[in-house]
Structure 1
Amino acid sequence: MARRVAFVNNKGGVGKTTTTVRLAEALAKEGKRVLVVDMDPQGNASSMLGWVWDPTQQQPTISHAIQTAADGAARTVVQPVAWDAPYAERIALAPATLDLESRMSEAGVSGAWRRLDMALDGVDDHFDYTLIDCQPSVFHLTQMALAAAHDVVIVTEADLYSVEAAKRVYEFVVQRAPKDLANPTLTVRGVVVSALAPTALQAEQRDSIRDIFGDLVWEPAIKVRTTLAEANTDALPLTDGRVAEPRAMYELLAQSFLKAVPAP
């Protein structure tokens, strides 16, 4: 089984999806085989990896696999990414669309919180890491991800509301997940500071994050860069010269990841 890592925050817009996708890219450059599971109905991770929803086609998504409620159901969902890069063959995707919202209605069904774990059973055995991009909440979809995961990475921006949300996620994982999700070994492995702007206030908040989470905070903090946002929007890998700095930041962050997250 791959080492499964859930990327979480209780607040949206903090760079969680970008971190998931760009770490997958950097890990693939390191020779790691990576599966990205999109557990956010917005489907932004899927779009960043070049997947395009076509309503005229029967395209299996992670929602279908979860609905099946069977071991290994995600096998028909996992597919190559659309990037044109030499390392892209080491990245695969279980995509999502807005239909994933429908799974929320199953939250009260007995054992429904285990359905992602069931769907991935045996499917990610030949990957080194499964990175799960969670929606900005700690409700049913995120709880399915946390029940299936071995580790958690909290992504936050350097602002008060993002940090407060990060603290809520940390408390949920530490205090409730072991019992409520029957996952006693689930561990927060890191905190990523994303979209850091060059202002005194942002620097102050970054230092506050370090004070709160201590050694869990990974380096480097990811600086806000227009070229990174453009690459995300255009569903492009970080390969050309315009994105040299963002590429280097995520390659360094991948080293922090590899040090903190146990090898499978």
Structure 2
Amino acid sequence: MVITVFSPKGGVGKTTLALTLAKVLGETNKVCVLECDFSPGDFVSLLDLDKEKNIVNACLGDYRACLQKPQGEKFDVIVGGFPDMQESLKYADVERLIDSLSSEYDYVLIDLQPQVSEATVPALLKADRVLFVLEDDISAVSRTVGIIEYLKLHGFLDVSKACAVVNKVKGKGKYITAVDLGIPVIYSIPYLQRLSEYKDKKMIRHAKNLKDAFFEVKKEKSLLRRLLNGFKRVEQKDK
């Protein structure tokens, strides 16, 4: 399954969330995180990885030679590149890499850069789900609405596969509740003070909740609740 994590605005916590989801999913699945970012990306510094084992070399050579495992983690990573590298890649190069990774891993998480280009469009079109990350401020909301319309207009996004998470929420919603994004908001993460990194326990807890919401897992707390729900479904079928 390919999950692309995207935001048209930087600083909203997209990369942190992508890595935390990878950590959570990696507990029981084979996971790879692809940093499709040429701005440049943050994985090299955040995870202390080799910058030469990047997306460009993975696309144009043996991608397995570019896989790295961050210290203490179960998931693999391919780091992003630099601005001048983006011109080296075509749509088909990135598409082929995503196909190769998805055939080997249970989950491929793509941390996508804010700007859309030929090299980054496959991350949207090949995704089984696209998760938009935004904050509840006028800039993030307006940019998200604008980019969704742009992606739809150019055929780069299947909105039926898209959903959103609101990060760093403070108090009641101001802008997100007044605007129709055109995609469902499946989860909200409160502003977490003194958040150290993606491995922070508070962030992991919210990532687990987001995972459940993302896959529409309905928690039924007791056998009685499951039985009652089963009876309700039977009654509905009989009507």
Cross-structure match for 1:173: 151
Counterpart in the other structure of 1:60: 53
Other-structure match for 1:6: 4
**Partner of residue 105 from structure 1, selected from 84, 87, 90:** 87
TM-score, normalising length: structure 2 = 0.78
- Which of 86, 99, 102 in structure 2 is aligned with 1:124? 102
Contact 2:30 2:106 in 1 (8 A): yes
Question: Pick from 179, 189, 213: which aligns with 1:222?
Answer: 189
Q: Does residue 92 in structure 1 map to residue 102 in structure 2?
A: no
Q: Are the equivalent residues in 2 in contact too, given 1:152–1:188 (CA < 8 A)?
A: yes
- List aligned pairs for 1:251-262, cutoff 5 A: 251-259=208-216
Residues 57-78 of structure 1: CA distance to partner in whole angstroms, max 9, x if unpaired? Answer: xx32112223x2x7xx422212
Could you tell me whether the CA contact under 8 Å between 2:144 and 2:181 is conserved in 1? no
Q: Which residue of 2 aligns with 1:191?
A: 164
Deviations 1:121-171 (A, max 9, x none): 333323111111111112234324224333311111111111111112322
Q: Give the distance between the partners of 1:10 and 1:97, measured in 2 at CA.
A: 18
Which structure features the higher share of helix residues? 1
Q: How far did residue 106 of structure 1 move?
A: 4.5
User: Greater relative contact order: 1 or 2 (C-alpha under 8 angstroms, separation 6 or more)?
Assistant: 1
**Percent pairwise identity:** 22
Partner deviation per Cα, 1:95-127 (whole Å, 9 max, x = no partner): 1242xx2233347xxxx1221111233333231
2:64 is aligned with 1:75: yes
Assess if the C-alpha contact under 8 Å between 1:9 and 1:154 holds in 2: yes
State the distance in 1 between where 2:139 and 2:169 align.
14
Q: 2:181 is paired with a residue of what secondary structure?
A: helix
Paired residues in the alignment total 216
Q: Secondary structure at the match of 1:192?
A: strand
Does 2:200 align with 1:246?
no
SS in 1 for 2:146: helix
Task: Report which of the two structures shows the higher radius of gyration computed on alpha carbons.
Answer: 2
Please say if residues 173 and 187 of structure 1, whose CA atoms lie closer than 8 Å, have aligned partners that are also in contact: no
Q: TM-score, normalised by structure 1?
A: 0.71
- Amino acid paired to 2:56: S
Alignment check: 8 A CA contact 2:22 2:33 kept: yes
CA contact (8 A) 2:91 2:120 kept: no
* Counterpart selection for 1:15 from 1, 13, 33: 13
Q: Distance in 2 between matches of 1:246 and 1:147?
A: 28
Which segments of 5 or more consecutive residues in structure 1 lack a partner in the other structure?
Answer: none
Shift of 1:26: 1.8
